[in-house]
Structure 1
């Protein structure tokens, strides 16, 4: 099938794939998941172009014209969007779907993008028929797409910072790089949860698991073997936390400065971006036929840095707030 010959059929195929992944029991559709999948497909498509950020703005303008509606400008409710780690996971599924869809059409990126805009338009109109105003779903699509693109760009830039500033200028090893990024992710998560009054023994494991999952999945996508050895040798919860403070002190100012430049000020967003970068650096350190670090060593190293930093930062903040 050629995208140039059977655009209608290919658009229907894209729509069917999206609906299959967003379907619930009883032929219902998870609208929020559908929007996030669309966001991931859109970002992966735009990454084929030289200036994906400019393509993002052009895509929104094309959609506004096609929909006959601007996105809602009303303030987003506190729970209008899923947590950052959910957006990362769902949009990555959309990106994976996009790679499968256009793997034979890389020379037709512009045509695929045009077709995708039509698919997004159709989905948002379909959601409106189910009672969700198109201006609101358009806004949610933009928010999810912006975050997906931001996590991708931030992960790459954070890796570049580590390679240029820490490895190149300060002599860090790849093990230091993996640990440093993982630790800063854990610290961002702990401070963010504590500032919202969410840091407590009942819920902290779940949030840590979600952010560490971002790291592990990024590494697995890039070739690190999946398995159950990520937590091998980790200290028990009743042992004193042992965070890599020297690496945190060195890397955190550069990371914070970068986040200020791109306007990523939400700490959970920062945690997700750092975890994603840590997964990529882990793939560099432990991937290939002759890795610098064996996966069985590198994976627990990354997990320990994130976990121990999260525990130590959270305990400090809890002690301060309770004093």
Structure 2
């Protein structure tokens, strides 16, 4: 590694894979994690704060400021993903309550403060519903002058998970995602098309689970977490999920992107929350007859070097 560490801020809804992302971010020498902000998503926002502080404590991380953010989307009611991430939102591993505490300012205040105070432009990594980010951009648009890029985990080019076409983070707060796309800074969409593909082999997971080092062992237990409906594999593999987006900041060469127009479907019905990615080589009849609409251009992740990111994550977390 050469050069200075990249200043980053993570906005998360700490469930299983957000925790994997935090473990990587605090241990990779090429990243300078300046702050973490929390939002309702995988579980309620107070659970997200607790889980985030727990990960930092288990990892032996320095005193990174953590702030509580939005407890519900801009318009929708909150809809958790506890059926995936466990009742506590982080695999029901029975971890002790953290002794660390969040800072005494809200997430938007902390985001503004840390972005503007950074001596170098910050890369913002939202791995959650984008409520905090939308509130930040609407309340303090001046922060964009010190944001290098926003790399968000969300959206899908092809198949969704919350609905047939919508990914959970965008579906949870579609209006917030639409605001993000107007940020006026470079944006990378790390969507389900690559998210699902970066999987740690079972043999590596088993090794992590036997580690005497708490952070490494936590990584193994999180990777081994399974939906209770899925019967037990004695050496389960585990997807890195959100952690892949942080890997893409540390090592962007592992990701193949294409700059494409993207918009979020906001209408009620089965397409609400879909990220509509326009991969056509030329305008179609809709644009010809109605006039071309200006759509935000986003660097959309279309392919990923799975093995490269698995190796990168393991090497950082295991040291």
TM-score range relative to shorter protein: under 0.3
Give the structure-2-normalised TM-score: 0.22
Structure with the greater alpha carbon radius of gyration: 1
Relative contact order higher in (CA < 8 Å, ≥ 6 apart): 1
Give the structure-1-normalised TM-score: 0.22
Going by fraction, where is helix more abundant, 1 or 2? 1
Going by fraction, where is strand more abundant, 1 or 2? 2
